[in-house]
Amino acid sequence: MLRPTLSGPLGLYSRCAARSTVRNQALFRFKTTSAKKTVVDEAKKLTWPEYLAIRGSKRKWQLAVTVPCAFLGFFGGVAYFGSLETDPAKPIMGIDPFFFYGACTVGCVGIGALIGPSIGSAVWRARHSNQLAFVDAMDREFYRRIAKNRVDASLQSPTHPVPDYYGEKVGSLHQYRQWLRDQGKYKRKALLPEE
């Protein structure tokens, strides 16, 4: 429970100070609101074909960095696990050491492939830092549209999954329109009974 710190009513000076604080907060709020609107207004200058081309280049960067990271994981796993002393008579967790170290090497490849897209995205963001505000605003708008137009996931079955649920394959306006048609076709198939 909050307790008042003053024993008596607020004096004239205290009330004026409180009013100026409220005015300053309101002025700060108005300044930040207008700044946010200008970023969104400038983001509208980026057209959808331009945005989708930028998005495609980002995916290419992620893929281009994923392959070397997977190879780096493979070579690192081979270098580490290949240098370990192995005794075929002593199994590791009940598995032959050669098979265990082989599985660990494949795990290193998987870790490299998982880390690759994150590194690729970071490299892309560093190289295109002047467009980040525009791209982030368009990303939010794009994912809002995807979430609004995609099929409800509860309609899918194991034998008939929703096509491209996250819109990852959309790289142009033509592909976006095709994605919308596919979502509509799936929705009609799932909701309307077959005759």
pTM of the model: 0.64
What pLDDT does 6 receive? Answer: 45
What pLDDT does 191 receive? Answer: 81
Which residues, 6+ apart, have CB-to-CB distance to 61 below 8 Å? 120, 121, 123, 124
Q: For 57-114, how does the pLDDT look when each residue is reduced to its tens digit (9 = 90+)?
A: 999 999 999 999 999 999 999 999 989 888 888 888 888 888 999 999 999 999 999 9
What pLDDT does 143 receive? Answer: 94
Alpha helices in 128-170 (DSSP H): 132-149
What pLDDT does 159 receive? Answer: 82
What pLDDT does 4 receive? Answer: 47
What pLDDT does 65 receive? Answer: 95
Which residue stretches of the chain have pLDDT < 50? 1-8, 10, 26-27, 43
What pLDDT does 174 receive? Answer: 94
How far apart (Å, rounded) are the C-alpha atoms in residues 7 and 33? Answer: 38
- Per-residue DSSP letters for 30-47? HHHHHHHHHHHHHHTTS-
What pLDDT does 193 receive? Answer: 67
